[in-house]
Amino acid sequence: MSLPKLAEWVEGTKPARYGMAIFCVLVGIGGLWSGVRQKHELGSQINQLVNAAVTQASKDDLRMFGDRMDAGFDRVVKAINLLSKGRVVRPEETHPKPPALLPPPEHIRYTESRAPSTIAGSPYGLQAIIQTDATIQPVSIGITCDGEIYDAKAFVAGIGVMMSVAEGFSRDRKTFLLRFQYPPITPANPLVVTLFSKTAIRIQKIELNPQW
């Protein structure tokens, strides 16, 4: 049956019209459900990335607090030992420090973790989640490691497309260079970079606006 005759039959048959209407409604519901599900999965991905970075930052804060506590206990033990020897303990002179300069409006922090490699000949993968406390656009970033980088892949969490992308490596292939015009990096949309190498590597530093 040709399409015109099929359309004429549907138009003239009441059960067929009802059936077609129900079919269209089901297709619409299916499309709506698929969109909602994809949005939920995307939000879950971003939350996992952000939580991982926040957890690492909390560990760094606790480590710094522990170092300060150890230094304080060392001074107390020193004072007790001097008292036991009959020496007068004078408080150490402290000089007020000049107020620290405010940090620049754009600064980053990152977490790194092992990741599976999909590149033949490079069995090691290292994923870096790079967060910022401000919106950065355009983005230009350099990731330096303690070993050679064979290849790299990058994306911005929550956004499926990148525009005006340029990639490169330093001469010793220990630094991966990346810049793009769109999208921006924001506190809610971190940059995720996966580095592939022939040997196990670790990140030494990540800097904004490196020299190409």
Residue with tokens 């999208």: 183
Name the amino acid, one letter, at 11. Answer: E
Global pTM reads 0.55
157/47 Cα distance (integer angstroms) = 10
pLDDT tens digits for 86-120? 655 555 555 666 555 444 445 899 999 999 998 99
With a CB cutoff of 8 Å and minimum separation 6, the contacts of 101 are: none
Q: Cβ(117)–Cβ(124) under 8 Å?
A: yes
- Measured torsion, CA atoms of residues 161, 198, 173, 187, in degrees rounded to the nearest 10: 40
Task: Return the structure tokens found at 39.
Answer: 């949005």
pLDDT tens digits for 108-158? 999 999 999 989 999 999 999 999 999 999 999 999 999 999 999 999 999
Report the SS3 class of residue 7. Answer: helix
Residues, the chain, total? 212
Q: Cβ(26)–Cβ(32) under 8 Å?
A: no
Residue with tokens 């406390």: 133
